[in-house]
């Protein structure tokens, strides 16, 4: 286990030039600190206070207090905390993940979601244990923390059986690829994402990707993209003073009329009425379900 590294007050943690294969790295950022882990590591982050922005291969993400996010090994995330932000993370190399799997450890996937206060306290306690000076990277020592992280992904369990494949290993492989696509949609809520982009990301054909995505999540990639963009619009209406037309453009809608119709269908009111109701305390933004909670197929 490497020494825990922390970036604070505008510091940038640069990756130590060494192989990623057997790496176990605990990291933290706070108050405008930034970090970019070494390429080739699976990374998990949880926001304890404030918020952070993350740039990755899958796009741009905002992590708020009480939320977690995980990235695959080739995502190359770079995270920066805001002026009040505190975020902790764990990076695991391929051989470490393989050792955990051989020891009966759980499978981890890319994704994002929320974490309850009690679970957050438990996670921080386990994170401090593995990041303590002299801590070992033995799978037995890492397993409590990794198991707790996997527990935050329990919502994925209902989707895994819907993946094609005769073996559990094949289903896990397919689901992992679909999660990458789901993250790509989350990270590009400012534009229309083409099916061809998602198919290339998952190494599936466009037809097979669309079919499998709908089979597993209960909605098409196009429906998921539209829903996420409209949720992003609701966030912008709540958190910024952008004009309605600017919000529409920032969510990938070139036509204000099509945005108005789509927003009313999704949120039950016009964008201006939605903002006024929020400011008057009469409405709340659309809930942000723990990913990947999708609408069930009919």
Burial of 284 (0-12, 13-18, 19+ CB in 10 A): exposed
Q: Helix 221-239 vs helix 271-279: angle between axes, to the nearest 10 degrees?
A: 50
Q: Taking the C-alpha atoms of 10, 116, 186 and 191 in order, what is their torsion angle to the nearest 10 degrees?
A: -80
The reported pLDDT for the residue numbered 285 is 45
Per DSSP, the residues of the chain read -PPPEEEETT-EEPPPSS-STT-EEEEEEETT-EE-PPTT-EEEEEEEESEEEEEETTEEEEEETTEEEEE-TT---EEEE-TT-EEEEEEE-HHHHHHHHHTTPPP--SEEEE--HHHHHHHHHHHHHHHSTT----HHHHHHHHHHHHHTTGGGGGTGGGS--SSHHHHHHHHHHHHHHHHHHHHTTTSPPPHHHHHHHHT--HHHHHHHHHHHHSS-HHHHHHHHHHHHHHHHHHH----HHHHHHHTT-S-HHHHHHHHHHHHSS-HHHHHHHHHTTS--PPP-PSTT--PPP-
Identify any residues that bridge with 92 across adjacent strands, giving them in sequence order.
Answer: 24, 42
Q: Where in the chain is the domain with CATH 2.60.120.280?
A: 5-152
pLDDT by position in tens, the chain (length 298): 566 889 999 999 876 666 667 788 899 999 999 999 988 999 999 999 999 999 999 999 999 999 999 999 999 999 999 999 999 999 999 999 999 988 888 999 999 999 999 999 999 999 999 988 877 767 788 999 999 999 999 999 999 999 999 999 999 999 999 999 999 999 999 999 999 999 999 999 999 999 999 999 999 999 999 999 999 999 999 999 999 999 999 999 999 999 999 999 999 999 999 999 998 875 554 444 344 343 333 3
CATH number of 168-298: 1.10.10.60
Q: Where in the chain is the domain with CATH 1.10.10.60?
A: 168-298
Tell me the C-alpha distance between 79 and 90, whole Å.
13
Q: What are phi and psi of 51, to 5 degrees?
A: -150, 165
Tell me the C-alpha distance between 55 and 61, whole Å.
7
The reported pLDDT for the residue numbered 145 is 96
pTM metric for this prediction:
0.90
The residue behind tokens 């990938």 is 252
Q: Give the architecture-level CATH label for domain 5-152.
A: Sandwich (2.60)
């Amino acid at each position: 286990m490497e020494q825990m590294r922390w970036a604070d007050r505008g510091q940038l943690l640069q990756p130590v030039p060494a192989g990623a294969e057997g790496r176990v790295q605990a990291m933290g950022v706070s108050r405008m600190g930034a970090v970019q882990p070494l390429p080739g590591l699976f990374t998990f982050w949880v926001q304890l206070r404030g918020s952070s922005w993350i740039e990755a291969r899958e796009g741009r993400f905002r992590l708020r207090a009480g939320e977690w996010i995980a990235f695959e090994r080739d995502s190359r995330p770079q995270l920066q905390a805001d002026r009040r932000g505190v975020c902790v993370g764990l990076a695991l190399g391929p051989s470490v993940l393989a050792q955990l799997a051989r020891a009966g450890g759980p499978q981890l996937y890319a994704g994002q979601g929320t974490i309850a206060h009690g679970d957050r306290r438990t996670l921080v306690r386990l994170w401090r244990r593995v990041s303590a000076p002299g801590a070992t990277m033995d799978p037995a020592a890492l397993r409590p923390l990794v198991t707790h992280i996997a527990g935050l992904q329990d919502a994925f369990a209902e989707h895994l059986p819907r993946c094609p494949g005769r073996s559990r290993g094949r289903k896990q492989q397919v689901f992992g690829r679909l999660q990458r696509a789901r993250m790509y949609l989350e990270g590009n809520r400012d534009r229309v994402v083409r099916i061809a982009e998602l198919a290339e990301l998952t190494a599936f054909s466009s037809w097979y990707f669309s079919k499998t995505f709908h089979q597993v999540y209960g909605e098409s990639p196009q429906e998921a993209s539209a829903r996420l963009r409209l949720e992003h619009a609701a966030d912008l209406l709540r958190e910024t003073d952008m004009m309605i037309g600017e919000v529409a453009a920032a969510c990938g809608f070139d036509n204000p009329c099509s945005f108005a119709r789509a927003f009313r269908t999704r949120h039950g009111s016009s964008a201006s009425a939605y903002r006024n109701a929020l400011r008057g305390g009469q409405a709340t933004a659309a809930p942000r379900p723990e990913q990947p909670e999708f609408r069930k197929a009919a």
